[in-house]
Amino acid sequence: MIKCIATDMDGTLLNAMQTVSEENKQAILKAQAAGIEVVVATGRAYQEATYVLDEAGLTCPLICVNGAEVRGRDGEIISATPIEKDVARDIAARLAETDVYYEVYTDKGAFTIDTAKAVSIMVDIVLTANPEADREFVEYAAGARLRDNLIHPVEDYGVLFDSEQYKIYKFLAFSFDEEHLAVAQESLSGFAELTVTKSGHENIEITHKEAQKGIALEAFVNANGIGLDETMAIGDNFNDVSMFEKVGRAVAMGNASPVIKSMCDVITDTNENSGVAQAILEVL
């Protein structure tokens, strides 16, 4: 019997307009009413994740920034796995050398030195999961990052690395030049304390090696007296693989790549067709 359901956000719980469909919302509420713990596991910072859930009228525990931070339903931080500041400075220097744009995710939200690219990177993530979506609509939805202060402009990332006020959780690096992105990824391969994954065609995500969705989910269910064999994970991309490898029921979205689908027990419908709701209702 499934007692916990973990769902990714972009390309999974969210449609191309980055909203939760009514079908997905009702399925989650039905699962919660049945006593099932529903946790959202996302690469987004807490502030961006709760913005979408609040709009949908949902309250869930959150595994944020690919597992770098876990928060309860009340928003309280349960655990945090930041990148050391000296390592963060080194990562920033290497990314700058390879000429790729990057954002820095912290416990105070995400930061950018280029607001135009801050929108472009979200468009890439969405269009990776929804290649048939209307780009203009996606760009408008992605613009909420700026309109609603979900990402914060900063002139120099150094202020984040030098201040004790910020915990550095993740670097999200982005480039339309595959060679530049490959060079950036290779330059980070020697960091034993880091893990590098992807959530879109033109990006890489860099976190502490212990900041993975699967590791955070395992700790979450253990703390709640739930077995991994009683847990279902739903996702569409490579930053969801660490969950798939641990849970009793791994569900790939219909819009996931063939590689992701081959790793899972079940394939549900696409995110545009409320595949999360279908996956939840099948186990209720």
List pLDDT tens digits, range 222-269: 999 999 999 999 999 999 999 999 999 999 999 999 999 999 999 999
User: Same domain for 89 and 77?
Assistant: no
Quote the tokens at residue 273. Answer: 């067709």
* Together in a domain, 34 and 142: no
pLDDT at 108: 94
**Domain end marker among 176, 191, 208:** 208
In a shared domain, residues 234 and 168: no
Q: What pLDDT does 87 receive?
A: 97
> Are the beta carbons of 272 and 16 closer than 8 angstroms?
yes
What would the two tokens of residue 19 be?
A: 């909203």
Q: What number is the average pLDDT over the span 169-177?
A: 91
Query: What is the pLDDT, as a whole number, of residue 72?
Result: 96
Q: Is residue 25 within 8 Å of residue 58, measured between CB atoms?
A: yes
CATH number at residue 108: 3.30.1240.10
Q: What percent of the chain has pLDDT over 90?
A: 79
Domain limit, last residue, from 177, 208, 239 = 208
Same domain assignment for residues 182 and 230: no
Residues 107 and 174 in one domain: yes
Question: In which element (H, E) is residue 144 found?
Answer: helix 144-147
8 is catalytic: yes
Model confidence at 131, pLDDT cuts 50, 70, 90, reads: confident
Contact 100, 180 (CB under 8 A): yes
pLDDT per residue over 175-188, tens digit each?
888 888 999 999 99
Q: What is the pLDDT of residue 122?
A: 78
**What would the mean pLDDT of 6-24 be, rounded to a whole number?**
95
Residue 45: predicted pLDDT: 93
Extract the tokens encoding 92.
């920033």
Q: What is the rounded average pLDDT of the residues 11-40?
A: 96
User: Do residues 77 and 121 both lie within one domain?
Assistant: no
- Residue 67 gets the label, from left (phi > 0), alpha (psi -120 to 50) or beta, of left
User: Angle, to 10 degrees, between the axis of helix 85-97 and the axis of helix 178-187?
Assistant: 150
Among the candidates 191, 208, 225, a domain finishes at: 208
Point out which residues pair with 111 in neighbouring strands: 104, 152
Which residues constitute the domain of residue 181? 85-208
pLDDT for the residue numbered 144: 80
Q: pLDDT (tens digit, 9 = 90+) per residue, 46-100?
A: 999 999 999 999 999 999 999 999 999 999 999 999 999 999 999 999 999 998 9
Whether residue 161 is found in the same domain as residue 106? yes
Residue 57 shares a structural domain with residue 94:
no
pLDDT confidence tier of residue 276, bands split at 50, 70 and 90: very high
Structure confidence at residue 99 (pLDDT): 85
pLDDT band at 137 (very low <50, low <70, confident <90, very high): confident
The total of structural domains in the chain comes to 2
Q: What is the pLDDT of residue 209?
A: 96
Pairing type for strands 168-174 and 194-197 reads unpaired
How much is the average pLDDT of 188-197? Answer: 92
Q: How confident is the model at residue 2 (pLDDT cuts 50, 70, 90)?
A: very high
- Point out the catalytic residue in the list 8, 10, 124, 240: 8
